[in-house]
Structure formats: C-alpha cells, structure tokens
Structure 1
Amino acid sequence: MHIKRVFDVVVVSLAAIAWLPAVMAGALLILLSSGRPVFYRSNRLVDSGEPTKVVKFRTMVKNADKLVNRDTVPVTSTRFLNIAPNSPLYTKAGRLLERCGLTEIPQLFHVLSGKMSIVGNRPLPTNVMNALLDEYAYAGDRFLTPAGLTGPAQLVGRDALSDSERLRVEGAYCHAVLDGYRLRLDFTILLSTVLIVAHLKESMTYSEVMAMIERNSRSRSVASLEDRYAPATDNTEVA
C-alpha cells in the first residue's frame, strides 16, 4: 500500500498543472450558469470505516439530492443508485462536465490528503451500501482498499454491469492490491480511463477487466478470486 500511496502523490503532483486549472474552470462554469453552490458535498463511505465528507462538482439542480436518493427511489433492478445521463436533473454545465469526465476532479484534494486514492472503487452513501449488503454479503469487499476517482468498474461503464458483476470486479481489484500490488495495475486502469473518456479506446467488457486485473497483479488467479463470491448469474440488473 505504501507504493500505491507514492503513486497517488506523484501523479497528482505532476498533473497539478492540468487539474488545478480544470477545477477553477469547472467552478467558474457552474457559478456563471447556475450559481452557488459550485461544489456538492455529501457523506460517503470511502473505506470500511465511518462515512466522511466528499466533494465533487455540482452537476445537478440544487435540490437533486432531496428528489433522488436511496430513500426516495425504491430498490428494484439495481442496488447502486445511478442517475440516467439524460435525466432533467442535470444542468447544462453539469452535462458538459459529465461528458468530459471532470465531475470528480475536485476529489484530487482528497487524494492528496490521503483520504482517497486515484484508483479505487467509487465512494458510496451508507444507505446504498446497506442496500447492496442486503443482497450481497460480500459487498463490503469493495472497501478493503480506499475509494478512488476511477476504478475497474468505470472501464466497463455502470450501465453495462449487473450489480453482482460490478461487485465482483471491485472485489477482485481490492484483493489484487492486498495480495500483491503492482504499480502497473493502477497505471493501466488510469491510462485506460483517460483513453476511454477521450474516446480513443472502446469500453472494456466484464471479462476483459477481470483478465486485466489478473494480468497486472501478483494476486491469485481471477478464477480463485471469483470463488469468494456467489455466481454472477442474474442478467436482469443494470448497475
């Protein structure tokens, strides 16, 4: 984990010349188009401990969190709470930031502080995590390592994974980090994320991501990791 932390600090520091202006430009865009607040702050789980305050750009109308959350949206096909990209809750500035993959970039400050990592599974509200645990006893494995700005699930896309597939990918990543971390695992995920957001690379499939995790780690085989979890046989879910 020490090498992973060094990777985070070095990458964030070297990339500051690009991401700091991006944060300022994004904040100005939101301020001019829809006013304050520029940032959206909420309590999220970023590890196996207590929730912590996490910040990102506000991409939706000001009362969106009151209208759409796990308490107001019933648990049906998915336990993850994902807002459709075409939802009217998004502001024009928010849609642009989402399309450019900049929504989470303010969280780089959390990476510098050590609260999060560049690569890891996304933070979650406690009630969403509880909904996942009700269905999948192994859901907590996704927080065996700190949450990140991007992770293996983002290489496939949240709308292309079932809940069980997403949790299996996220759990496999965490175990790969803990069982024998290789720097190239995070580097590969980060580079792939950038290429996919820039439309220079196609999104990957579930099987391709699982194979990539195995190929870039010292972990046991992916097949062995998958044995930890119930079979991903439910194809009706959309994560």
Structure 2
Amino acid sequence: MTEGVYTMSNQVGSPRRRSARWSSRRAQGLYRPGDSTAALAGWEPRYRRSVIISDVLCILAAVAVVGSLVGAQSGMATTKVAVLGAITAGVVLCSLAMNRAWNLVVLGQGAEEFSRLGRGLFLADVALGLAGLAFSISTMRPWVFLVVPAMALLAFPSRYVLRKLLHRARNDGRCLLPVLAAGAPGSVRDLIERTRKNPHIGWRVDAVCTVDGRGNGAGELDGIPVVGELDKIADHVRRGGYRIVAITADAYWTPKRLQQLAWTLEGSGAEMVVAPTLMEVAGPRLHMTGVLGMPLLRVSAPAFTGGRRVVKDVFDRISSGLLLLLMAPLLLLVSLAVLVDSRGPVFYRQRRVGKDGKHFTIIKFRTMIRDADRMLAELNERNEGAGVLFKMRRDPRVTRVGGLLRRYSIDELPQLFNVLGGSMSLVGPRPPLPEETARYGPDVRRRLLVKPGVTGLWQVSGRSDLSWDEAVRLDLRYVEDWSLALDAVILWKTFRAVLSGQGAY
C-alpha cells in the first residue's frame, strides 16, 4: 500500500533541470512526435490498486466479523452465512464499480471520492433490501442494517488514511502529475501559485506555453521554463511527457482552436483541462450537456431549499443533541475552569446575524475578562484582523483559560445549543456581527442565504490566518456549491484543524 503511494520520485527536481534533461533527450531523438510519452505515472495505477484492495479488505472484514456475529445470534447455518456474505460482498463491489468509485480522476482529492463511495454502498444496501423483500428472505435484514453500514465504517477511514499518505508524499514533492500550462502570463501565474500553495491537489507545473513563447524576457515565468508558443502545444506534450495540459484564460483561445488542440492531443496520453474563466463555480452544480451538437457547461441554481436541506437540518439537530449529551462532562469541567479563572459569567452571549439577515444570540464560553467589549475602541488601532473583522494575536482581554479554549476551539462548543435550536448549522459560513453585515456589499451578503455554521471551509482552511478576501471566497464557495458530501468532508477536517490549533487566536 505504502509503495503505491511513494513513487515517482525520479521526476522530482528543479524545473530548469527537468527542462534541460528533456531538451537533451529531444536532441538525442529519444522523443518523437506521435509517441505516447504522457502515459499514466507509475504511482497512479498502484495507488488505485491500493484503494481497491483496501475497499475489498474492508468489505470482507465486515462480512467475516459482523456477518458471523449476525449468523451466530440468529442461529443461521454456516453455509447460509457464507452464501449471504458472498452475495452481499459481490453486490457491494459491483455497485462501487458501477458508480466509478475507483476512477483515478476522483481518487486522492475533493468530496467526490467519498460521495461516490457512499453512493455505491447506499445503492448496494437498497438493492439487497429490495432483493430480500422480493424473495421473502427475512434473514437479509441484519445484513442490510448491520453488515453494509459496518463496511462504510471501515471503508471511509481507510480511504482517508490512504489519501493522507498520498498528500504527505505530494507535500514532499512526490506523486505529482507533470503539467504544461498554456495561456496568458497572468492566468498561468495564478495557476502556478495555486499549485505551489496546495501541493495536495497533485499538480506540478513543469512548463509553460504563451502566445509569443516568451515569459518575463528570461525564458521563464515564476521560475517555470517557457518552452514555446500556444500553437505548438501538442508537439511539446509529446516530447515532454506531460500528464496534464492546463488551458488558462487567453484571447488566443477560440472554440475552434481548443477543438483542434483536443484532436491533436489524441493518443498522447495527456489530459486536457480547460479552466472555466467566466465564473468560479464547482462541485455538484456543474453539468456537461449537449444541445444540437454544441457542448454546454450547465450551471444549476444553488440549493437553498429542498429535500437535501431538510436532511441537513434533521442531521444538524440530532447530531448536536447527541454531542451535547456525550460532551456534558467536558462542558461541566470547562464551566468550572472559566468560573475559577476570572470573575464573570460562564457563557458569553452576543448578537449575530443568521440566515436571511435575522438576528440571533450566539452562545460561547467566556474567554475574556468582564466588560471586554468596552475596551474594543481602545484596541482598534492594533487590529490584526482582515477586512471588517477585529482580531489580535495577543489580545490583552483574553484570560488564561480563555487562551487555551480559543486555541482548541473549545469555547465554540456551546454553539451546539444554537444548532439544536435551529439558528445555526454544524457547517456553514462564519456567523457575522451586525456591524460587520452593515458594511457588506451585495456579493458578500450572499453569505446570509444559508445558516451560519459552527465550522466551515474558513475554519479548515486557515481560520484567523486567512485574508478577508480569501475568507469571503471560501464562504461564498460553500454557499454556492454546498452538498452533503462537502459537509461530511468539512466535519472530518475540522477535528484535525482543532487539534492542531493553527490559525486560532
């Protein structure tokens, strides 16, 4: 498993060194036009096999352990247990394959990987349940309600562990896909910056093509060699062995030229990726359709109501209630610590703005001295926050216990009462202050179209270290592209962000 993740180290090195090596190989005639040099990197099929083997082992473990317990509890014959186990495992594996849960495009990043895994398990569960009803197999019920859920409890963490191993390798410069970026220098610079800032995505820009074949005058762009002009991309791809051709914004690109490029890249093994420059939308709202032979990128309206929102609301309330019961001893200990540390109430209540601009009272553990709000005017000159936010890394109003609570976001736990009451959600944009919303522009006010959250994209992406523009972009992205799978990923990442304490003050 580990070996499948930690490969491709032979492709690590400086861009200039790789460019020189490829130039040397071209001079020796080792690359010829028409060669498929951009085949899958060695680590890709091995990583995919690791994921498949992991899923199969989780499925078999659930069948062997939980299935055996179910059979023993019901007095079922060993042969019947084996038959039902084989049927269940077979149906689940077929469902995962049909839902393309092992497609390389989704493995290793984004919520789509977990969405496909969950959809495959759910549809398999439904199929088994319907088969049990159709053939009057009463013994199928425990397999539907116990065995398949046990598979999910094993498969999801296993996928996450594999993903973390892959991301660790990518942070070390391994398991990256070589990318040829083609477009205007400004848009290419943005792509280079994003790939360097987020290596876990798995892209490494190794070369650039521009309209004139020049970068900053020295034959490079942000340290990446400019290898040629836009009309020679296919030749460079076949010679250089790039895995991805990333098309960024440039007036040069017309539908005809993009189509021609797609044709010339056929057989090269490279994947062409075109950045949608008209609007920043991603996730389940994007759908590729064709009308009269014309390919169209269909953008569906954001889902602010409907069945999925009802499911989210029910999940929020049930989960918050259960969490409050489980963490009751911790809440009691924190309450005592706040009382002993400084004079004042245990809880801090503050007016915040929720969905559709409605005001509500947020509940948090008090982390500051009494009457801290009155000192705000004196500290405004020392504000380190972004945009309309007030933040200080060393706020003199924060108590000793309060600093610890803030570092690990324990002060936020009472907001579960807000979730239980319906004014907040477990996942959503940051709940703003009324004075903040008074300074919002029309675009930023779209944050108020959904309930604010105890956690969100802003918290798992840097928290207080984020710039104002970046925090707004993340919140708006959540509002626009929300999905149940994205919520699950954010909740999972929240635990890591809280434990690290990074960006919290």
Answer whether TM exceeds 0.5 for this pair.
Answer: yes
| CA–CA separation in structure 1 for the residues paired with 2:412 and 2:373 | 17
For 2:380, the equivalent position in structure 1 comes to 73
Structure 2 residue 364 is matched with structure 1 residue 42: no
Alignment partner of 1:173 out of 472, 478, 493: 478
Structure 2 residue 423 is matched with structure 1 residue 115: yes
Gaps of 5+ in 2: 1-308
For 1:218, the equivalent position in structure 2 comes to none
Deviation at 1:116, TM superposition (A): 0.6
RMSD: 2.4
Distance 1:101 1:159, change over 3 A: closer
Alignment partner of 1:61 out of 369, 382, 392: 369
For 2:443, the equivalent position in structure 1 comes to 138
For 1:224, the equivalent position in structure 2 comes to none
Letter in structure 1 aligned against 2:409: G
Alignment partner of 1:28 out of 325, 333, 336: 336
- Whether contact under 8 Å (1:79, 1:128) holds in the other structure is no
Residue by residue over 1:32-91, the C-alpha shift from the partner in whole angstroms, topping out at 9 and shown as x without a partner, is 11132111111110222332221111101112111116x973799733323223211100
Alignment partner of 2:496 out of 162, 173, 195: 195
- Whether contact under 8 Å (1:122, 1:151) holds in the other structure is yes
| CA–CA separation in structure 2 for the residues paired with 1:94 and 1:77 | 19
- Whether contact under 8 Å (2:343, 2:369) holds in the other structure is no
- Whether contact under 8 Å (1:46, 1:122) holds in the other structure is no
- Whether contact under 8 Å (2:425, 2:451) holds in the other structure is yes
**Secondary structure of 1:73's partner?**
helix
Alignment partner of 1:102 out of 367, 390, 410: 410
Letter in structure 1 aligned against 2:341: S
For 1:126, the equivalent position in structure 2 comes to 434
Structure 2 residue 458 is matched with structure 1 residue 153: yes
Distance 1:82 1:155, change over 3 A: farther
| CA–CA separation in structure 1 for the residues paired with 2:385 and 2:347 | 30
- Whether contact under 8 Å (2:385, 2:391) holds in the other structure is no
Distance 1:19 1:38, change over 3 A: same
What is the number of equivalent residue pairs in this alignment?
194
Structure 2 residue 317 is matched with structure 1 residue 9: yes
TM-score (norm 2): 0.36
1:207-222 matches, within 5 Å, as none
| CA–CA separation in structure 2 for the residues paired with 1:176 and 1:22 | 35
For 1:184, the equivalent position in structure 2 comes to 485
- Whether contact under 8 Å (1:119, 1:147) holds in the other structure is yes
Letter in structure 1 aligned against 2:450: T
Deviation at 1:145, TM superposition (A): 0.7
Letter in structure 2 aligned against 1:104: E
For 2:293, the equivalent position in structure 1 comes to none
- Whether contact under 8 Å (2:428, 2:452) holds in the other structure is yes
Deviation at 1:2, TM superposition (A): 0.5
Q: Which has the higher contact order (CA 8 A, sep 6+)?
A: 1
Distance 1:73 1:129, change over 3 A: farther
TM-score (norm 1): 0.73
- Whether contact under 8 Å (1:19, 1:105) holds in the other structure is no
Letter in structure 1 aligned against 2:448: F
| CA–CA separation in structure 1 for the residues paired with 2:325 and 2:496 | 19
**Secondary structure of 2:459's partner?**
helix
Deviation at 1:151, TM superposition (A): 0.7
Distance 1:29 1:154, change over 3 A: same
Deviation at 1:25, TM superposition (A): 1.6
Deviation at 1:17, TM superposition (A): 3.9
**Secondary structure of 1:56's partner?**
strand
Q: Between the two proteins, what is the percent identity of the paired residues?
A: 33
| CA–CA separation in structure 1 for the residues paired with 2:398 and 2:366 | 9
Residue by residue over 1:122-148, the C-alpha shift from the partner in whole angstroms, topping out at 9 and shown as x without a partner, is 2111111223x1xx4311111111011
| CA–CA separation in structure 2 for the residues paired with 1:89 and 1:16 | 28
| CA–CA separation in structure 1 for the residues paired with 2:417 and 2:471 | 26
Bigger radius of gyration among the two: 2
Larger proportion of strand? 2
